[in-house]
Amino acid sequence: MGLFKSLKKAFKKVVGGVKKVVKGVVKGVKKVVKKISSSKILKALAIAAAVIVTGGAALTAFGGTMGPGALGKFGTWMMSTSQNVLGGTLFGTGASGVTGFFQGAGNFTTKMLAKPFGFVGGALGSTARVGANIVQRKDLLAAGPAAGGVATTPGAILTAPTPFSAEALSGQLAVADTVSFDPTANAGKGGYINTTVDPLDPTKNIVTPLTKAQEASLPNPYKTNIDKVTGKPKGTAGRIAETVATGTATAVLSGAALQAIQGDPEQQGSMGGLRTETATQFDPLQVYAANRGIAESDISKYFTFGNTASAGNMPLFQQQTIGVPS
Amino acid sequence: MAQPNRGPRDIVTDSISETAGQAVLDGLDAGFTIDDMAPDNGPKIRGEARFNQEGLDEIVNLSSKGGAIPGQSLVNDPSQPYPWEQPPEFANPKDALDYMTGLVFQPEAMKEIVGALANGAAVADVAMVMLYAKFTEGKFNPDVLMLLAEPVMYLIMAIGEEANIKYNIGDSNDLDELDNEDNEEEIDSKINEFKTVFEGIKNGTTKKGMEPSKITSDKIPQNILDKVKEEGPAIRSLLGKGEE
C-alpha cells in the first residue's frame, strides 16, 4: 500500500473519531436543551474547537459569528477556556489519583496542540461575505452592502470593503476608487478630491473637493498611506490581503478532484491514488536513454543497482541473489 | 445575551473534539444558550457537488498524464532526495499547527476553502489534501500530519460555519446525516407519544377522575357551562357518528 493510501486510511479513522464525538455531543446537548437541531450544535462545536485550537485567534479572524460584538461575552468566556488549556490548568494542580495521572500524562494532544495564535488580525465577517456571495451568485470577493445593510450609494466616497481586503481585515470601510489626493487643490495647499463621470457627458469628469466632514470620515490608514507630495498611495505596505499568496489555495482547489481519483483504500481492487510523479518525471530517464543510445521502451533492461561503479553498478533485476535450496 | 454565572471548568480529555464537546456542554451549564454560541444566520448554503464537465476533463487529464514506473524512485540520485525524504521543517506539532493555522487563515486560502465546501468537497478531504501537500513539501512528517488532522479539520469546519455552509464532514454524501437522525428521533418521539396516549385510552387511565359531577364550575367558565345546559343533547361528540 502506498504512503498516500496509508495516510488516507489513518485519516479515515480520525474522521470517524470526529464524527463519533460530534454525534456524542449532539446527544449530550439534546439531553440538556430540548428541540434543537443537530446542525446548530455542530456549529457551536466547530466554533468552540476552532477557538481552542487557535487560542482565540479564530475569534478575531472571523469577526462575524465568533468575533466581538454580540458574541463578545461568549468569545471571551471561550478564550478563558483556551487559556486554561494553554496554561495546563485544565488538569488541576497537585491533584492525586486519576486526575493526577492526567495532570502528568494525559491530555497529551490537547495540551500539545492548543496554542495562542495572535497574529492573524480581525477580518470583519469576510468569510461570511464570501458565503453570501455564493448564494447571491456574485463574484466570491465582491463587496457586501455597507453598514446597516444599505447598498453603497453610487458616487459615495466610502464603500463597503471587499472581503479579506486590508480594510475588511482592519474593520474599516473602503475609500472609493474615485477619491484621490490632489496636491494642487485648495489653492496649492492640497486636498482630497472626488472625480466622477459627468452623467450628461460621459467623456468628461467632474472633480469635487471633499468637504471637511467628508475628509474627516476618511479612514486614518488611508490618509496616512497617501503621499501628500505626489498625491499617490505610498505603496502596498499594510495592504495585508495583497501580500498573501500560498500554494495552499491551489492545493485546496484540487481537493475535490483528488478525492475523486484517489479511490477508496478500504475497497479491494480500487483504483490507485493520484500519481504525483507525472510524465515530466520521465525526462531524466529520456536523457539517460538518449546518452546511451537505448530505446526508451527498453529502458528497464538497462537499470542498474547502485548508481556508481563502487556501489556495484549492477544491472537491476540481475544482481546476485542468495540461493534458496529447493 | 445570557450572562455566564461562572467561569469555565477544568476539562480533561485526550482530543480536541472531546475538549470542544465538553466546552460546549460547560458553556450551556454556565448559563449560555445555544443561540449565544451558534447564532442563526439564516438558511445555509448546501454544499452539494454538482456535475461539471470542466472538472471531469481536468480529472481525466490528471489521470492520463502517466505515472512512475515501478522502481523509478530507486534510481533517483541520493544526493537530491525528495523534500519528504529529508528532515522535516517542523518537528514540533505545535509549530506545525501554527504554520497550518497561518495558511488556513490566509484570505486566499479561506476563499478557496469556502468555495470548495460550497461545491461539495468534504472537510476531511480538504484537510487531507492541504496536509498532504505540505507533507510532500517536507514541512512535517506523516506522524505530525496525523496529529494535525483533527485541529485542521475543525478550523475548516469553523470556516464553513462562518460562511453559513452546510458542509460534508467525512465523505461527499454525509450532508444530511445529522438532519436525518433529527428526523428519525422526532418520528420516534411522536410514535412514543402516540403509543403512550393510545395505551392511556386503552387502559382507561385518561377517564379516571373525570366524572361530570366532579367538574366544578370554577374550572370551566360559567358561559360554557350555560351553553352546555342550554343546548344539551344537540351537542354531538367529536367521536360520534356523523349525520347520515
Q: Are residues B154 and B168 in the same domain?
A: yes
Q: How many CB atoms lie within 10 A of CB A18?
A: 25
Residue B30 lies inside a defined structural domain of this protein: yes
pLDDT of residue B139: 92
- By DSSP bridging, strand A304-305 and strand A314-315 are antiparallel
Q: Are residues B100 and B155 in the same domain?
A: yes
Q: Are residues B135 and B183 in the same domain?
A: no
Which run of H or E residues covers position B142?
A: helix B142-162
Q: Please report, for residues A161, A213, B150, the alpha-carbon distance to residue A147 in angstroms, rounded to integers and kept in the order given.
A: 10, 18, 36
Q: Are residues B228 and B144 in the same domain?
A: no
Q: Are residues B97 and B115 in the same domain?
A: yes
A62-83: average pLDDT? 53
Q: Å from B33 to nearest chain A CA?
A: 9
Residue range(s) defining the domain that contains residue B34: 1-39
For chain B, how many structural domains are there in total?
3
Nearest to B37 by CA among A38, A51, A66: A66
Residue B237 lies inside a defined structural domain of this protein: no
Task: Provide φ and ψ at A209, rounded to 5°.
Answer: -65, 140
Nearest to A248 by CA among B152, B167, B133: B133
Q: Are residues B100 and B168 in the same domain?
A: yes
Residue B194 lies inside a defined structural domain of this protein: yes
Q: Do A23 and B181 touch (CB under 8 A)?
A: yes
pTM of the model: 0.57
Contacts of B33 in chain A (CB under 8 A): 33
- Side-chain-side CA neighbours of residue A109 (13 Å): 18
Residue, of A32 and A107, whose pLDDT is higher: A32
Residue B132 lies inside a defined structural domain of this protein: yes
Please check whether residue B60 touches A, CB under 8 A: no
Q: Which of B13, B116, B147 sits opposite A253 (nearest CB)?
A: B116
Q: Are residues B169 and B103 in the same domain?
A: yes
Please check whether residue B99 touches A, CB under 8 A: no
Q: pLDDT band for A120, please (50, 70, 90 cuts).
A: very low
Q: Are residues B141 and B213 in the same domain?
A: no
Euclidean distance between CA atoms B30 and B239, whole angstroms: 49
Q: Are residues B98 and B117 in the same domain?
A: yes
What average pLDDT values come out for chain B (244 residues) when binned by 10 residues? Answer: 72 78 83 79 76 79 77 83 89 86 81 84 89 91 90 89 85 71 76 83 64 64 77 70 64
Q: Are residues B186 and B156 in the same domain?
A: no
Q: Are residues B168 and B187 in the same domain?
A: no
Q: How many CB atoms lie within 10 A of CB B144?
A: 23
Q: Do A85 and B19 touch (CB under 8 A)?
A: yes
Q: Are residues B143 and B95 in the same domain?
A: yes
In chain A, DSSP finds a helix count (H) and a strand count (E) of: 13, 7
Q: Which of B3, B74, B151 sits opposite A113 (nearest CB)?
A: B151
